[in-house]
Amino acid sequence: MITTRCLIATTFLLVGCGSKGEPFTAVVSAASQEAIQAEVVEVKHVSVPIRIDVTGQVVAIFQAALSSRIQATIDTLFVREGTPVVKGQTLIQLDNRDVRADLARASAEVENTKAQLDRMNQLYAQDAVSKQEMENATRAYKVAEANRTTVLAQLSYTIVKAPFDGVITEKMVEAGELASPGQLLLKMENPRQLRLRATVAEGDLRSVSLGDKIAVVIDALGEQALDGVVGQILPVGDSQTHTFTVKVDLPAEPGLKTGMFGRFQLAKGTSKTILVPGTAVVERGELTSVFAVGSDQIARLRWVKVGRHLGQQIEILSGVNVGESVLLDATRGIDGVVVKIVDAATSAALPTMCSLSCQPPWSKDASSVAQVSDSGLSYVKRSTQVR
């Protein structure tokens, strides 16, 4: 009698502790599920190409660092970063007053020596001067002419011009500063002719040749590949990293700029690996699995380690063996369910198993949801409490 009362009290206590809105759950094992009809695919070794990822940086084919050849004050600065320029355009004007004064003296010296030479020629024709004196006058004139040519060159150095069409990328000076010989003033490049500068390991260098067409992906522009052409392979490598520089010329593309990150792949033979269709793989958080179907035609959940994604195929590194079969559509798999194997034509005519949305034959007020556990996908009966 005491035992019976304790059982009744315990029952009421359990019922009273439950929340009014909290349903009762009961798990139905996969063993109670009906057999499914599905396709399977046999695990086989497949030959796939070995591809090597090579990364690099976009640089300009034509780039220049402009510096001063004389010492002079910067009179006028006509450009700044981002200014487009054309070949021969004046970029910087240096103070040229001292050079013009030297040019005036040199020009006067040329006129003086030319007049002296003319007089010597007349006197020499009259045998009034010696041949030596006439030759001395000729040499003096040539020296004065050469001196004026040197000053003219110095005058041209006071104007810094663009060597090609392009854009100014960097400005190191301002107007009024003193420019010294060899001092860097401006940097410019041609943004319409770019290339990818990449480093290739010495063991992979045989996979690329001059003139090869390579698909280059610029991450900043999206996954659409650009048609690149190998334009240059430097003949000398880096003795410390054992790599060689490969330059891939790129087509003109809107938005492509120097400094962007790019990559391409080099084919290096083939290798055998295991590939399965992407539909045969199911991901659950950080874990990946397939449903292996054995000779007993029972599907069993199998955790696998995946590798590369090759189109609609996924590489399996471990977890399944060659010769085994896996479900082609992993979303229909339940751990421990019996599988009736059908071919593709038969499977297309079969209705899809509604393991997630169909209502099991329970009470009218009941609903069903799918629950993922370590043993696979199972049904959870969720009853609504009637008040």
- Please report the domains of the chain, with CATH numbers, ordered by start residue: 22-39+281-387 (2.40.420.20), 53-61+193-270 (2.40.30.170), 65-90+163-189 (2.40.50.100), 96-157 (1.10.287.470)
**What average pLDDT does the segment 313-335 reach?**
87
Hey, what are 187's tokens? 């940097």
Task: Supply the pLDDT for residue 48.
Answer: 81
Q: For 95-139, how does the pLDDT look when each residue is reduced to its tens digit (9 = 90+)?
A: 999 999 999 999 999 999 999 999 998 888 888 888 899 899 999
Q: For 188-198, how does the pLDDT look when each residue is reduced to its tens digit (9 = 90+)?
A: 999 999 999 99
Task: Supply the pLDDT for residue 295.
Answer: 86
DSSP state, residue 177: P
DSSP structure string for 72-96: EEEEEE---TT-EE-TT-EEEEE--
Highest mean pLDDT among 62-66, 122-126, 221-225, 347-351: 62-66
| Of 269 and 302, more confident | 302
Is-contact 312 10, C-beta < 8 A? no
116: left (phi over 0), alpha (psi -120 to 50) or beta: alpha
Task: Supply the pLDDT for residue 178.
Answer: 93
Task: Supply the pLDDT for residue 344.
Answer: 54
In the chain, what's the furthest Cα-to-Cα distance?
162
3-class SS of residue 321: coil
Q: State the amino acid at position 198 in one-letter form.
A: A
Q: What is the mean pLDDT of the chain?
A: 81
pLDDT band at 214 (very low <50, low <70, confident <90, very high): very high
- Crossing angle between the packed helical segments 97-125 and 131-156, to the nearest 10 degrees: 160
pLDDT band at 311 (very low <50, low <70, confident <90, very high): confident
Is-contact 206 65, C-beta < 8 A? no
Is-contact 329 288, C-beta < 8 A? no
**What average pLDDT does the segment 30-52 reach?**
78
**What average pLDDT does the segment 242-254 reach?**
94
